[in-house]
Amino acid sequence: MAEWFGKLRESPLWVRVAPFLIFVTLTSFQGKFGEESKYWIYTGKSVLGAMMLWLIWPGVKELRWTFSIEAVVVGILVIVVWVGIDYYYPKLLHPDKPWNPHAQFGEGTGLAWFFVVARILGSTLVVPGMEEMFYRSFLYRYIIQPEFEKVPLSRFHRVSFFVTSTMFGFVHREWLAGIFCGCAYQWLVLRKGHLGDAMTAHAISNLLLGLWIVYKGAWQFW
């Protein structure tokens, strides 16, 4: 596997696209082998995703965590909007039951809490790197020109900004909040010229959403 990813790093395009496609493909299998499978597959894909990010790290120079006040503010703002506008627009159809390990494995059981923690850790530590690398590093710049590495991450392009943010939004059930979320993270990338702050904001948003879901029992967000 390490050797394969070593060769993958030689392609600027595939090093950013292949891990995301693998991650999304595994997502499509969640729940296909019984209701319990979506919990196990999510946990497995999170572990695999962490391994893939580690292996491609040397080949994607902009994939570095950074921290700033703007990242914190954006991360909090996104989740306030995400939750705050939830009742005011129609959602995309949810193909499965909400992710609720307590309903599946028993209220308060060790296995239920294991999957809650696995979901929060996966969405906080793995998803931000995967999605920012694909949407903001690859797709945003590829729409501008196929030789996307020549495009500075700080370059604003109206069409690419709209298309990327909209695509990001519509892969979420909460599509309108997702579009706002995509715009906010893209703004951070444009402002900073790297992915680090957007990854941090994305992680903060996902962490806060996970904690909100657990605290309020708002499992529909998962």
pLDDT digits (tens, 9 = 90+) for 70-85: 999 999 999 999 999 9
Q: Tell me the C-alpha distance between 64 and 189, whole Å.
A: 12
Query: pTM surpassing 0.85?
Result: yes
34 DSSP β-pair partners: 32
CA dist list (Å): 26 to 31, 96, 125, 177, 210: 10, 15, 17, 24, 21
* DSSP-derived 3-state class of residue 32: strand
The identity of residue 90, as a single letter, is P
Which residue stretches of the chain are H helix?
A: 2-8, 12-28, 37-56, 69-84, 101-105, 110-121, 127-131, 140-144, 158-170, 175-192, 196-216
In the chain, the percentage of residues whose pLDDT exceeds 70 is: 95
Structure letter (DSSP) for residue 171: T
Tokens of 178: 């997702």
* DSSP-derived 3-state class of residue 186: helix
Contacts of 43 (CB under 8 A, 6+ apart): 115, 118, 122
pLDDT at 9: 72
Least confident piece of the model among 7-11, 112-116, 205-209: 7-11
Instruction: Tell whether 89 is covered by a domain.
Output: yes
- Per this entry, what is the length of the chain? 222
Tell me the pLDDT band of 2, cut-offs 50, 70 and 90: low
As a whole number, mean pLDDT of residues 117-145 equals 98
Q: Tell me the C-alpha distance between 168 and 175, whole Å.
A: 8
pLDDT at 97: 80
Tell me the pLDDT band of 211, cut-offs 50, 70 and 90: very high
Contacts of 189 (CB under 8 A, 6+ apart): 132, 136, 140, 153, 154, 195, 197, 198
In the chain, the percentage of residues whose pLDDT exceeds 90 is: 89
Instruction: Tell whether 128 is covered by a domain.
Output: yes
Instruction: Tell whether 37 is covered by a domain.
Output: no
Instruction: Tell whether 19 is covered by a domain.
Output: no
Q: Tell me the C-alpha distance between 9 and 106, whole Å.
A: 43
pLDDT at 6: 66
Tokens of 64: 């570095």
pLDDT at 60: 92
Instruction: Tell whether 215 is covered by a domain.
Output: yes
Instruction: Tell whether 85 is covered by a domain.
Output: yes
Residue 213: domain span? 62-221
Instruction: Tell whether 179 is covered by a domain.
Output: yes
Number of structural domains in the chain = 1
pLDDT at 31: 86
Contacts of 219 (CB under 8 A, 6+ apart): 98, 99, 100, 103, 213
Instruction: Tell whether 154 is covered by a domain.
Output: yes
Least confident piece of the model among 39-48, 85-94, 140-149, 158-167: 85-94
